[in-house]
């Protein structure tokens, strides 16, 4: 850890940032010209956007219901954004990819309707990674015939990462300005824990960090 490291900024690396970055770079591995949809623009989703921007992906699509988070996603590397309020998400994703569907998708919402929409938008051979954690027992209908041409789903924990390798790399990327995690973080005194909770639920804060 660099001596001048800002621990408030680096605090989320071991959970949300590692999950988003690791899932994109370790599991989905978008290639040249690929498209990737990132569903949910919180800490995990925006970290995934930043990771996708480091990859050869040609189209990075961020999906959320909070306009300020979508604006930040664009600043962090998303080529396209979709406001999921009152939209047919499957159709919107297919339209952005010329009808082919997305090569990769990462769901950070855990919302069954969003997951189902992402499945419907997968290109042939495409992969959907689950990282959002819905309540136990949550199920999503799967059209088996649609999966036969090579579409697949995979569950991912902590970005399928080796923390002792990935975390130092994330620290260095942040130091170089290539992974601007500081754009996600807002620190709060511990006494303001309720304000931090209110702000994240209202969409005013991406990643609150409590300072003792």
| Predicted pLDDT at 11 | 82
Comparing C-alpha atoms, which of 36, 27, 22, 20 is closest to residue 206?
Answer: 20
What are the structure tokens assigned to 4, written together? 């001048």
d(CA 182, CA 179): 9
| Predicted pLDDT at 4 | 58
| Predicted pLDDT at 1 | 52
For residues 154 and 176, is the Cβ–Cβ distance under 8 A? no
- Give the N- to C-terminal CA distance of the chain in Å, as an integer: 20
Please name the helix (run of DSSP H) or strand (run of DSSP E) that holds residue 113, with its range, or none.
Answer: helix 112-120
Domain 18-134+141-158 architecture? 3-Layer(aba) Sandwich (3.40)
What are the structure tokens assigned to 77, written together? 């590397």
d(CA 200, CA 57): 29
d(CA 34, CA 46): 18
Give pTM, 2 decimals.
0.94
CA dihedral of residues 93, 96, 102, 104 (deg, nearest 10) = -90
What are the structure tokens assigned to 182, written together? 């500081």
Residue pointed to by tokens 């170089």: 176
Residue ranges of the domains in the chain? Answer: 18-134+141-158
For residues 52 and 36, is the Cβ–Cβ distance under 8 A? yes
Instruction: Note the pLDDT tens digit of each residue in 63-89.
Output: 999 999 999 999 999 999 999 998 999
Q: Each residue's pLDDT tens digit in the chain (212 positions)?
A: 555 567 778 888 988 999 999 999 999 999 999 999 999 999 999 999 999 999 999 999 999 999 999 999 999 999 999 999 989 999 999 999 999 999 999 999 999 999 999 999 999 999 999 998 888 999 999 999 999 999 999 999 999 999 999 999 999 999 999 999 999 999 999 999 999 999 998 888 999 999 88
d(CA 14, CA 138): 26
Asked whether the CA dihedral 201, 204, 206, 210 is positive or negative, the reply is: negative
d(CA 207, CA 182): 10
Residue pointed to by tokens 């006494």: 191
d(CA 26, CA 167): 13
Instruction: Note the pLDDT tens digit of each residue in 196-208.
Output: 999 998 888 999 9
Residues 6 or more apart from 62 whose CB is under 8 A from it?
A: 38, 41, 45, 46, 49, 69, 70, 73, 74, 78, 80, 81, 82
């Amino acid at each position: 850890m660099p001596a001048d490291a800002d621990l408030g900024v680096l605090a989320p690396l071991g959970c949300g940032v590692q999950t988003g970055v690791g899932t994109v770079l370790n599991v989905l591995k978008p290639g040249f010209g690929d498209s990737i949809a990132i569903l949910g623009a919180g800490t995990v989703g925006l970290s995934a956007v930043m990771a996708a921007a480091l990859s050869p992906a040609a189209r990075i699509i961020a999906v959320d219901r909070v306009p300020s988070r979508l604006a930040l996603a664009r600043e962090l590397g998303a080529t396209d954004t979709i406001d999921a309020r009152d939209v047919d998400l499957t159709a919107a994703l297919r339209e952005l990819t010329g009808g082919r569907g997305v090569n990769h998708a990462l769901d950070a919402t855990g919302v069954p309707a969003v997951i189902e929409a992402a499945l419907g938008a997968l290109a042939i051979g495409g992969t959907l990674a689950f990282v959002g954690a819905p309540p136990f027992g949550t199920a999503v209908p799967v059209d088996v015939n649609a999966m036969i041409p090579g579409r697949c789903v995979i569950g991912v924990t902590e970005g399928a990462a080796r923390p002792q390798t990935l975390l130092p790399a994330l620290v260095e990327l942040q130091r170089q300005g290539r992974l601007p995690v500081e754009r996600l973080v807002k620190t709060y005194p511990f006494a303001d824990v309720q304000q931090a909770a209110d702000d994240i639920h209202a969409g005013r804060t991406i990643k609150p960090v409590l300072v003792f």
